[in-house]
C-alpha cells in the first residue's frame, strides 16, 4: 500500500494478523512460544520405545552368549547358556533391590504417619512433672 510520506501513522491501517500454525499453542493474547507440556500419553510412548530398545539389546546379548556354563546353587547343579544365567542373576538382583526399597518406603511412611498423627488427648501430667522440668506455664 502506497501512502504519502506526510500521512499520519494513525491513519495507516494495521497489517492483517497472521493465523497461528496448525497445532500451535495459543492463548487469549495470541500464539505463545512455550513448548507444549508433557502428557501421560507422551510418557507412556517414551517408556514403551525405551523398553523395546532395551528388550532388543537383551535379546542380542542372549543370542551372543550361548555357550553352556555349569551353575551350582545350594546343592542344585545344572548347565544353562551363559546369557540366560546372567539375565536370571540380574532379575534376582533387581527383585532384591525392589524388596529392600519397598521395606524402606514402608518404614518412612510409618514414621511420617506417626509424626503427623494428631493426639487424641494431652499427655498425662503426673504429679506436676511439667513444672519441675521448667515448663513455661510456671
* DSSP β-bridge partners for residue 31: 26
Cα(138)–Cα(132) distance, integer angstroms: 9
pTM assigned to the model: 0.50
Residues 7-49: tens digit of each pLDDT? 676 677 777 777 766 766 666 555 566 677 888 888 999 999 9
Q: For residue 126, what pLDDT is reported?
A: 60
Q: For residue 56, what pLDDT is reported?
A: 93
What would the mean pLDDT of 87-107 be, rounded to a whole number?
A: 94
Give whole-number Cα distances, 95 to 99, 100, 133, in Å: 6, 9, 50
For residue 23, which of 15, 11, 31 has the smallest C-alpha distance? 31
Amino acid at each position: 500500500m502506497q501512502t504519502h510520506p506526510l500521512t499520519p501513522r494513525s491513519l495507516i491501517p494495521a497489517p492483517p494478523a497472521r493465523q497461528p500454525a496448525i497445532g500451535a499453542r495459543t492463548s487469549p493474547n495470541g500464539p505463545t512460544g512455550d513448548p507444549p507440556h508433557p502428557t501421560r500419553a507422551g510418557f507412556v510412548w517414551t517408556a514403551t520405545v525405551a523398553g523395546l530398545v532395551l528388550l532388543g539389546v537383551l535379546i542380542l546379548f542372549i543370542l551372543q552368549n550361548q555357550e553352556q556354563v555349569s551353575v551350582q546353587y545350594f546343592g542344585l547343579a545344572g548347565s544353562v547358556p551363559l546369557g540366560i544365567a546372567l539375565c536370571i542373576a540380574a532379575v534376582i538382583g533387581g527383585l532384591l533391590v525392589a524388596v529392600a526399597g519397598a521395606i524402606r518406603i514402608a518404614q518412612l511412611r510409618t514414621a511420617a504417619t506417626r509424626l503427623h498423627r494428631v493426639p487424641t488427648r494431652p499427655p498425662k501430667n503426673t504429679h506436676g512433672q511439667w513444672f519441675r522440668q521448667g515448663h513455661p506455664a510456671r
